[in-house]
Structure 1
Amino acid sequence: MIDAVDRTLIGLLMKDARASNRALARAAGLAESTCLSRVAALERRGIITGYHASVNLERVNRGVEAFVQIKIRPQALGTVSAFCDELAELPEVLRVFLVTGASDIQALLAVASPHELRDFVLSLAQRDEIADIRSSIVYLSRQSPQVYIPA
């Protein structure tokens, strides 16, 4: 269980993962030693799992984002977890989701161009376990700076 102080610290770190312990302590109204131990406890408990850099994909020549929806053949559904693991290892893939609905898997990709997306989809479509594959290019994306954590 987390309390209001934990929620405050998590929110501050989600806005700025590089914030110093001193800045976090001030913003949360804590002593620096208390703040340090609270953040360490959140890490130990697996609530904070890492600190990440946010990358401008266009500046690293991966400015075309797309979702690829994949339907797995019924006889291959037993291997869907391993397939997701393999998919996640591909350099174009940012995230992989096992979902309900018309598709079984959704993958978020970042590639250099629509042509590269087409080549990726055509290459993936050759896999025997895939029954259907579709893609949707992302025109606009926004990310929330925080995750809502209920009291």
Structure 2
Amino acid sequence: MLKTLDALDYRILQILQSEGRIANSDLADRVGLSATPCLRRVKALEQAGVITGYRAELDRQSIGLDLTVLVGVKVDGHRDTNATAIQEAFRTMPEVISCHLVSGEIDFLLQVVVADLARYEQFLLGTLLKLPMVKDIRSSFVIRTVKDNAPLPSRPCERTTPSPGAGRRQEKGLAVRRSPVSVDAAHISLRRLTLPFKGSALQSMPFTFHLAIGR
């Protein structure tokens, strides 16, 4: 069983996340260890399940996957059988590269990658909507990816415990709670948005944008 991670372990993990193919001798030099103790630490991290594997990261556009869609799925009812069945279905879909059970108005958030809008339509109509437990689907098309596949933080953020008086202020001897900010949602619908797709002419797609206005 792996003991509590120390600073050297976190440094090793930070380097391996960005340079998974680094030689053990180079890794040892970077963290200030000799080769044998460094390799021992890496093996311990692997055996403990902290390091779950090594893989190549591919450029999606280079292999023809030009369209990324974030798909919110709402399930009809919340019975355990429905949840289990739909999770198993998502695991078998190669187009779904990540799936999260979330809180809020939807139940699952999927990240789907396909070649183009036509392929997504085939996936939506031929696969997702054929699942009997699906009640509603909301699709958001990714226009540009700003950050993806980033390394995990080298150290977990420490949680701070709020002081007993947090969220209050003293005014004329009275404890006054801070009022929450009310937010109204204004919906702005754009009829069509033109986006360039690799290897094809400009293609138009309908979008609905949601603008949150605080006051």
TM-score (norm 2): 0.66
Q: Percent identity?
A: 30
Distance 1:81 1:52 in 2: 28
CA distance in 1 between counterparts of 2:38 and 2:30 reads 10
Structure having the larger proportion of residues in helix: 1
The alpha-carbon deviation at position 76 of structure 1 amounts to 4.8
Distance 1:94 1:121, change over 3 A: same
The aligned residue for residue 119 of structure 1 is 122
1:5 counterpart = 2:8: yes
Moved more, 64-73 or 122-131: 122-131
Preserved CA contact (<8 Å) 1:67 1:107: yes
Shift, 1:5, TM fit: 0.3
Say if 2:121 is the partner of 1:106.
no
Q: Secondary structure at the match of 2:139?
A: strand
User: Residues 147 and 75 from structure 1, CA distance in 2 versus in 1: closer, same or farther, beyond 3 angstroms?
Assistant: closer
CA offsets 1:81-116 (integer angstroms, 9 cap, x no match): 331222122121111111111110111111000111
Task: Name the structure 2 match of 1:18.
Answer: 21
Are the aligned partners of 1:64 and 1:111 in contact in 2 as well (CA < 8 Å)? yes
Which residue matches 2:134?
Answer: 130
Counterparts of 1:27-46 in structure 2, within 5 Å, are 27-46=30-49
**Farther off after superposition, 88-97 or 1-10:** 88-97
| Residue identity in the other structure for 1:137 | F
Structure 1 runs, 4 residues or longer, greater than 4 Å off: none
Q: Deviations over 1:60-95 (max 9, x none)?
A: 111211111100001655331331222122121111
TM-score (norm 1): 0.93
Question: How far apart are residue 144 of structure 1 and its match?
Answer: 5.7
3-state DSSP of counterpart to 1:132:
strand
SS in 2 for 1:48: coil
Query: What's the secondary structure of 2:123's corresponding residue?
Result: helix
Q: Quick check: which one's strand share is greater?
A: 2
Unaligned runs of 5+ residues in structure 2 are 159-215
Alignment size in residue pairs: 151
Which structure has the greater CA radius of gyration?
2
Amino acid at match of 1:74: G
CA shift for structure 1 position 119 = 1.7
The residue aligned with 1:143 is 148
User: Could you list the runs of 5+ residues in structure 1 that have no partner in the other structure?
Assistant: none
Residue 144 to residue 92, structure 1, CA distance change in 2 (3 Å):
closer
Q: What is the distance in 1 between the residues matched to 2:123 and 2:133?
A: 16
Q: Which is bigger in relative contact order (C-alpha 8 A, separation at least 6)?
A: 1
Q: Cα deviation per residue 1:105-136 (whole Å; 9 max; x = unaligned)?
A: 11111100011112211221132101101111
Evaluate the alpha carbon distance shift between residue 13 and residue 61 of structure 1 in structure 2; reply closer, same or farther with a 3 A threshold.
Answer: same
| Residues 76 and 129, structure 1, Cα contact 8 Å, conserved in 2 | no
Which residue, 47, 54, 58 being the options, matches 1:55?
A: 58
